[in-house]
Amino acid sequence: MSLELVCPAGSLPALKTALDNGADCVYVGLKGNTNARAFSGLNFDVQGLIEAARLVHARKRKIFVALNTYPQATNLTEWNKAVDSASEAGVDAVILADMGLMRYASRNHPELRLHLSVQGSATNYEAINFYREHFDIKRAVLPRVLSLQQVENVVGNTSVEIELFGFGGLCVMVEGRCLLSSYVTGESPNTAGVCSPARAVRWQKTANGLETRLNGVLLDCYADGENAGYPTLCKGRFEVGGETYYAIEEPTSLNTIELIPEMARMGISAVKIEGRQRSPAYVGQVTKTWRSAIDAFHGGRRSDPAWMSALSKLAEGQHHTLGAYHRPWK
């Protein structure tokens, strides 16, 4: 079984670039808070989703819609309508985290394929099998907190397809459980759809450098010529014990391209690239590199050092890690 390459598409240019560079599937979001990348200028309106689905299917590829935030009692209708829109657009699957939304989808759109989002935080096969038995999910995206041995244990005890993150940003929290942003801004990324709401972000040039603040809280200060990233609390530099450093999480990217043979051996169905908020150029380069690596593996060819070099240039802080997948101390 060939590993399916699932790539991000926060915009139509990114979607086209992913397809041009070999994505088997693209995943998108609808405008609004129903997805966890609710940035201004990203995502698709309903008509845009219909056109995107037509384009993807014309290329004989697949399109998934991420509806992976948690609806609240006062606005459940917005999420239900998003499920309706995805079904009407003819997408290949919706990626859901909330059980109530899964219930709505399975009852009202039984033909619609359901995937369990990483935001659902299902870290064991019993949880995944629960979703299969009650909502007939076909695939689960595992949180980035499991070792490869734990992943293999999950795969061996469920009939649900398993999708793993292969490249992109990491989350210091277990997905679906982040409290940092809501602590500072009063809005959770799992309901509002973004870690750092634009309304709360401030950039200010000072004598010390370029300061970034989130709802008034100083997260970082960049020297002249230093690359400044979008401010998120988990990746801020803070003074601790007289030293200033990345006290919570240092900017780095998950990069598991060397684990492709191991993923294939244990029966992983798909590899997911994080980054719907990234540029089309980023999406194109990452997709092209992973396409080459997957095809080389299935064709019996050797790995190419150029793949790692290309991905290192795109990693946050130009650092990459195997994350929890590799635990040499165990």
Question: For residue 238, how many other CB atoms are within 10 A of its CB?
Answer: 15
Could you tell me if 285 and 206 are in contact, meaning their C-beta atoms sit under 8 angstroms apart? no
CA distance 247 to 237: 6
User: Residues near 58 by Cβ (< 8 Å), separated by ≥ 6?
Assistant: none
- For the ranges 41-45, 182-186, 213-217, 277-281, which has the lowest average pLDDT? 182-186
- Beta strand extents in 123-263 (DSSP E only): 139-141, 161-169, 201-206, 209-214, 217-222, 238-240, 243-245, 253-255
For residue 80, the model assigns a pLDDT of 98
How long a stretch of residues is the chain? 330
User: Residues near 102 by Cβ (< 8 Å), separated by ≥ 6?
Assistant: 96, 114, 131, 134, 135, 137
Q: pLDDT tens for residues 31-41?
A: 999 998 988 88
Domains and CATH numbers, the chain: 4-170+252-325 (3.20.20.70), 196-245 (no CATH)
- 165 — phi, psi (to 5°)? -70, 135
Q: Is 216 left (phi over 0), alpha (psi -120 to 50) or beta?
A: left
pTM more than 0.85: yes
Q: pLDDT tens for residues 245-274?
A: 999 888 889 999 999 999 999 999 999 999
CA distance 35 to 38: 6
Q: pLDDT tens for residues 61-70?
A: 999 999 999 9
Q: pLDDT tens for residues 127-173?
A: 999 999 999 999 999 999 999 999 999 999 999 999 999 999 887 77
**pLDDT averaged over every residue in the chain:** 93
